[in-house]
Structure 1
Amino acid sequence: MNKERADELAMFGTALEIADLHPNEISLPEDHHLIVGAMRFHYLDWGGSGTPILFLHGGGLNAHTWDCVAVMLREGYRCIALDQRGHGDSEWSPVLDYRFIAHAGDIEGFIEATRLERPILVGQSMGGLNSLAYATRHSDQMRAMVIVDVSPEVSSSGAERIRAFTATPELDSPEAFLERAVKFNPLRDPAVLRRSLYYNLRQTPVGKWTFKHDQRLRSDEGMRSFSEARVRLASELSSIRCPTLVVRGALSDILTDDAAEKFARSLPDGRWVRVEKSGHNVQGDNPRALLDAMLAFFREAGIS
């Protein structure tokens, strides 16, 4: 094992220890790339067997946000985490197409290419909305869905706070990003934030550091288009027939209890749960409690 891989494994072990998670084996996933349509996508394959789970990260994040959850679930499920277009190590859209319908098409093509039979979709924030967009057309081909801290109705002030952070300009070092991240999310241990940034930063040709995701769609017009798309998505929720769990971080400034309950009631087979000691990024703030909620939901839905 080379030094970089050893360092990754050590950081992962630290993150698991902080989360009080103890998998049978601490190991890293396999990295893969494939072409869907005309774009190249990167994904993490955690292996495992049983019902497949496809994890979809939030905006400004990447597939590694699910590491602590996936390493535990792979003991009973087939776990894959995708870098969505414009994020992580997947390609950026050359025509700035980040609409829900484009993401849903990517998910459809990815599931077909990887032959995931009747998967569970687990999506947080942007990934949750993309999961919903896919499910409005394909819920009959899904076992279940978990939507983490998002709904078509979200707090505009909370969303703006996140946009401001993920639009951070180029900085001189990863340490400068870590300082900002600690202020942005004081719930998270700095060692866990440092690991997250390890996978979420890239160095520019001039030696500066910046986030990996495509920040070109931050215009006022783009935000208006996104809001309109959420309204259309809300009107289609009644077509989603698979069992769905809505998860709210108890300290989230994106999704309120009332909005989570309303969202769950708008789904033909929905329910919701609050995860304590977590904000918007539930999978990073309290992965152990998120796992407990997911496994209870899977049992209730008869999924093994």
Structure 2
Amino acid sequence: MTRATAVRADASAPPAHVPLYEERIEAGDGVTLAASVAGERGRPGVILLHGAGQTRHSWRGSVATLGALGYHALAYDARGHGDSDWSPKPDYSYERLADDLDAIVRHMGCVPAMIGASMGGMTALHAIARTDEARARAVVLVDIAPRVDPRGLKRVHDFLHGHRDGFANVEEAADAVAAYNPHRPRPKNPRGLMKNLRLREDGRLHWHWDPRFFRERNDDARDRHAARLLTMCRGVTIPSMLVVGEESDVVNGKGIAELRAALPQLEIGHVAGAGHMIAGDRNEAFNGAILPFLECHPAR
């Protein structure tokens, strides 16, 4: 039986701050992955996986909150993103991304809960569904369905593929983000964006990801993967939750219904005032959505 949960944007504030520390983890093919971690090893584990074009820093508030609540929380940059290495081949298939997630699970030394946004949610489902071994004790999917609204997907695609010549300064990058997320207040000091930018040899700032990452993705491959993933999901029996931004233009009712048919145990949480990037738009409300779910499905 599924359970729907409405979450207000004024959800309770996170507990006291806990320090985050950095780790580098071998992925097995010469690539190392950069991770931010909070909490003590041996506590219930939680892995947070960002979406395409994001970094582990999008989970900073959630990692700190989970660490303060007694979890061992880890968010990492997917290969080709942030401070993680670029794939030498390149290989950015979901099979390879799931291999990386398996390496993170081994590093943590437990059966964790997984929280994945967009690409990260698809990676988590792929890793869980492709094996009979216990990869996760529960999974939270953030604003993702195997098939999404093509209009919202195009807007994401246009942003990720735009600005191939980079930016002259961080202010230009902030303008691009503000145009993509008009509902989110533009930061007074955009220097925080430097975590998502890299200065290249041309003297301009470019987004942190490997450009080859997005060249591997096309509509035919996406449709094939969606069909395969829906079939695989029918073997996933662990507790599952989908958190949807009420202002998202990516996930629609049809996609939710299709995912729920494949995952009958799926619980749904709606976050008011949030778009596709829920954790960035309404971090406290997002935490308010996932924490009761995690508490209901503790480590065994």
TM-score by length of 1: 0.86
| Separation in structure 1 between the aligned mates of residue 108 and residue 18 of structure 2, nearest angstrom | 26
Deviations 1:59-83 (A, max 9, x none): 0001000011111111221110011
Identical columns (%): 27
Q: 1:156 aligns with which of 150, 160, 164?
A: 150
Instruction: Select 1:110's aligned residue among 80, 83, 104.
Output: 104
Structure 2: 5+ residue runs without aligned partners?
Answer: 1-9
SS in 2 for 1:229: helix
Residue 151 of structure 1: how far off its partner (Å): 1.2
Structure 1 counterpart of 2:288, one-letter code: D
Tell me, yes or no, if the aligned pair for 1:181 and 1:193 is still in contact at 8 Å: no
Matches within 5 A, 1:121-270: 121-138=114-131, 140-167=134-161, 168-169=163-164, 170-191=166-187, 194=190, 197-219=193-215, 222-270=218-266
**Deviations for 1:137-157, whole angstroms, at most 9, x for unmatched residues?**
357342100000001111122
Cα contact 2:243–2:270 (8 A) shared by 1: yes
Root mean square deviation, CA, Å = 2.3
Q: CA deviation at 1:22?
A: 4.4
Q: CA deviation at 1:255?
A: 0.2
Partner of 1:31: 22
Q: Distance in 2 between matches of 1:223 and 1:96?
A: 19
Note the alpha carbon deviations across 1:256-303, whole angstroms, 9 max, x for none: 134224313321421112111100000101111111111121233356
Structure with the greater relative contact order (CA < 8 A, sep ≥ 6): 1 or 2? 2
Alpha-carbon deviation of 1:45? 1.3
Moved beyond 6 Å, runs of 4+: none
- The match for 2:39 among 47, 61, 70 is 47
In 2, Cα distance between equivalents of 1:48 and 1:23:
16
Q: Provide closer, same or farther for how the CA distance between residues 56 and 259 of structure 1 changes in structure 2, counting only shifts above 3 A.
A: same
Matched-pair contact (CA < 8 Å) for 2:14–2:284:
no
Residue range with higher mean Cα deviation, 250-259 or 147-156: 250-259
- TM-score, length basis structure 2: 0.87
Which whole-Å CA distance do the structure 2 matches of 1:99 and 1:91 have between them?
15
Deviates more, 1:213-222 or 1:93-102: 213-222
How many residue pairs are counted as aligned between the two chains?
A: 285
Query: What is the one-letter code of the residue matched to 1:83?
Result: D
Distance 1:235 1:99 in 2: 18
Contact 1:58 1:124 in 2 (8 A): yes
Q: What is the one-letter code of the residue matched to 2:114?
A: L
**TM superposition shift of 1:116:** 3.2
Cα deviation code 1:221-265 (max 9, x no counterpart): 744223322221111111111100011110001101342243133
Q: Residues 47 and 54 of structure 1: is their aligned pair in 2 closer, same or farther, counting only changes over 3 Å?
A: same
Equivalent residue runs for 1:80-99 within 5 Å? 80-99=74-93
Structure 1 portions without partners, runs of 5+: 1-17
1:202-234 per-position Cα deviation (integer Å, ceiling 9, x unaligned): 111221001011122444874422332222111
Query: Deviations along 1:79-114, whole A, 9 cap, x unmatched?
Result: 1001111111111112221111111111112211x1
Answer 1 or 2: which has greater helix percent: 1
